[in-house]
Structure 1
Amino acid sequence: MAPPYRGLILDFGGVLTTRMRLNGEAFERSEGLKPGEYFAALNENPDGVAIYAALEVGEATQEDWNRVVGGILGIDPTNLMQRALANLRPEPQIIAAAKRARAAGVKVAMLSNSFGIEPYNPYVDKGMWTDFFDAVILSELEGVRKPSPLIYQRVLDALELTGPECVFVDDHAENLPPAETLGIRTVHHTVDPAGTAALLDALLLDRAPA
């Protein structure tokens, strides 16, 4: 019997790419920041948290983010998002699994809380834009971000599939339950791209993991 899943939904940062934490640590080193300083600016500083949330839903520009985060860190804000993501790389094993699925007739979508697309478009820069996917759903363009259930419904609508027909992969556990409420099969990607790729093969191509 053929596998039941007809759609694959993939997060960008940390799934389709290498780990966000490793990228952030490399950025700290390149900018001469203290270990953990960049993460604190994004996740603990109230202004940093607020500007990232606003950027993700299109209420702030990438240049606003550059200015605010650069000010918090005391570094040059010019092209800051591009510098901050400079060490992020496509994750070859996940991309290969997505290509295998698509070749087998599975629709593939990217669902990302946006980093902004102007003046720097990280999705184009990392080689992951519309040509690779059947649908691209960015929170900035949708005006809503994960984990809101609405954005998961938007990607289902774009794929013209139902929740039980789809698999969703994200590296943040808190983004999974809202997808599950729509019947989507979820996969929590952690630090093992080979394991996640094997699981996707098993789910989408009916290949038993080695």
Structure 2
Amino acid sequence: MILDFGGVLTTRMRLNGQAFERSEGLTPGAYFHALDEHPDGVRVYTELEVGQATQEDWNQVIGGILEIDPTDLMRRALANLRPEPAIVAAARRAKDSGVKIAMLSNSFGLVPFNPYKELGMWDGPDGLFDAVILSEHVGVRKPAPAIYQRALDALELTGPECVFVDDHAENLPPAQALGIHTIHHTTEPEATAAKLDILLAEGAVWPSCERN
């Protein structure tokens, strides 16, 4: 089982961003414009994700675009993100049944703020994840096909033995090309968790995902 971080293992990224806009007194939509449309914002976010920019670079650029204090901005920007209980519980049930679990995330950076650790998803061999694949560590980001292969390699599994869950449709086809079953997380978390439970009960996706 391969799970995205932001918006799958956590609450919705858009709701978090909207809460950030309110807390900073920004015009609705300003934060998303800075990330997704402003050329400097798009550039620094892409570079951050593949390890070519630091989180502090991101803080400075996005803070400048929004004309707000850049100090520890990533921490403030993700302050309303929380673990998604239904998805985490489904992953734990799969783990307890012997299924290997990986987190696959386009990175937010780790210094000075580590969002994975902050939300309890930066754990050792006795924790939830058998593998954590962050784009900044491998130098490529979703939807580059190589990052999905890195996840399979880390789990020592083939595509047909795994399922991948992501909230962005464009991130699914490269996984499907490797034979990975995919779930587009667009509904309520409980519905996605139920799909994972059904796959686990049927044993149709991960017949060889048993841990040694």
TM-score bracket for this pair, using the shorter chain length: over 0.9
Q: Give how far 1:64 is off.
A: 0.2
Does the CA-based 8 Å contact 2:45-2:58 persist in structure 1?
yes
Gaps of 5+ in 1: 1-7
2:27 aligned with 1:34, yes or no? yes
TM-score normalised over the length of structure 2 = 0.93
Name the residue aligned to 1:200: 196
> What does 1:9-158 correspond to in 2, within 5 Å?
9-130=2-123, 131-158=127-154
SS in 1 for 2:21: helix
Q: Distance in 2 between matches of 1:76 and 1:132?
A: 36
Name the residue aligned to 2:167: 171
Does the CA-based 8 Å contact 2:2-2:103 persist in structure 1?
yes
Q: Using the aligned pairs only, state the percent identity.
A: 75
Q: Distance in 1 between matches of 2:114 and 2:186?
A: 25
Listed one character per residue, the Cα deviations across residues 38-63 of structure 1 (whole Å, up to 9, x for unaligned) are: 00000000000000000000000000
Does the CA-based 8 Å contact 2:95-2:128 persist in structure 1?
no
SS in 2 for 1:168: strand
Runs (4+) off by over 3 Å: none
TM-score normalised over the length of structure 1 = 0.94
Q: Give how far 1:132 is off.
A: 2.1
Aligned-pair Cα RMSD in Å: 0.9
Q: Give how far 1:206 is off.
A: 2.7
Q: Distance in 2 between matches of 1:140 and 1:197?
A: 28
Q: Distance in 2 between matches of 1:56 and 1:205?
A: 35
Listed one character per residue, the Cα deviations across residues 136-183 of structure 1 (whole Å, up to 9, x for unaligned) are: 000011100000000000000000000000000000000000000000
Listed one character per residue, the Cα deviations across residues 169-209 of structure 1 (whole Å, up to 9, x for unaligned) are: 000000000000000000000131010000000012339xx
Name the residue aligned to 1:180: 176
Does the CA-based 8 Å contact 1:104-1:205 persist in structure 2?
no
Gaps of 5+ in 2: 204-212
Name the residue aligned to 2:206: none
Matching residue's letter, 1:169: V
Matching residue's letter, 1:110: M
Q: Distance in 2 between matches of 1:18 and 1:191?
A: 12
Say how many residue pairs are matched: 200
Listed one character per residue, the Cα deviations across residues 122-147 of structure 1 (whole Å, up to 9, x for unaligned) are: 00001111332000000011100000
Bigger relative CO (Cα 8 Å, ≥ 6 apart): 1
Q: Distance in 1 between matches of 2:57 and 2:186?
A: 31
Q: Distance in 1 between matches of 2:202 and 2:70?
A: 48
SS in 2 for 1:137: strand
